Structure 1
Amino acid sequence: MEYFTKALKHYADFTGRARRTEYWMFFLFYIIFYVVCATISYALGFEALTAIFSLALLIPSLSVGARRLHDTGRTGWWQLLNLIPIIGTIVLIIFFAQDSSEDNKYGPNPKAAV
């Protein structure tokens, strides 16, 4: 849960780097909260609840994704690959799953600090 709150604290911070754990834990809790939100909205008949949730977490999702791509030595603009159905998502999953690169223009290797 600390990774999810850390991403929310860095709401619109597109600088720096995020380790794999930070990104995937944020993604996991996002999915869990989305399913809970969708279940509640379905039970209440208020479908806009999931849309509000998704819009509220759009910027943090993009920022943690950009920081994760920075950790692999890529720019955050690679997230635009999500606009390409299926193939773009697969390529991004591969990028997000890659190990940290050494020190790069986005900052020092976060694994070295641990």
Structure 2
Amino acid sequence: MWISDGLPGAINDTAAARHHDIPDLAHQAEILLLADSGYHSISPDVHTPYKNHRGPHQDKRELGPAYTTANTALAAKRAFVEHGFAILKNWRILTRARCSTDRVTTLAKAILTLEHHG
């Protein structure tokens, strides 16, 4: 799990990842990026779950077993990151912070360090 420097305003995760050039930097460093389906179109190097690409007026169908297995494996690997986000959300100081993004970034990094080494 990695925490980038905070950005002001209501910038979504995909825009923040593009702002920090995360997909390109990870590609150059040969780091595999695993993400949720919200990052589906950010870069071909970002691995996201397979989606059911049926239209809104078509009958729903299940993904094949290979796709379901791949999605399950991806979710299992991402569980560690989701756990990290849950830890951050439990710290009330982050939900009530009314300070600069630099301070919030420092707080988030410190919290993860404390939780990891605690």
TM-score tier, shorter chain, comes to: 0.3 to 0.5
TM-score relative to the length of structure 2: 0.32
Larger-Rg structure: 2
Higher fraction of helix: 1
TM-score relative to the length of structure 1: 0.33
Larger relative contact order, structure 1 or 2 (CA cutoff 8 Å, min sep 6): 1
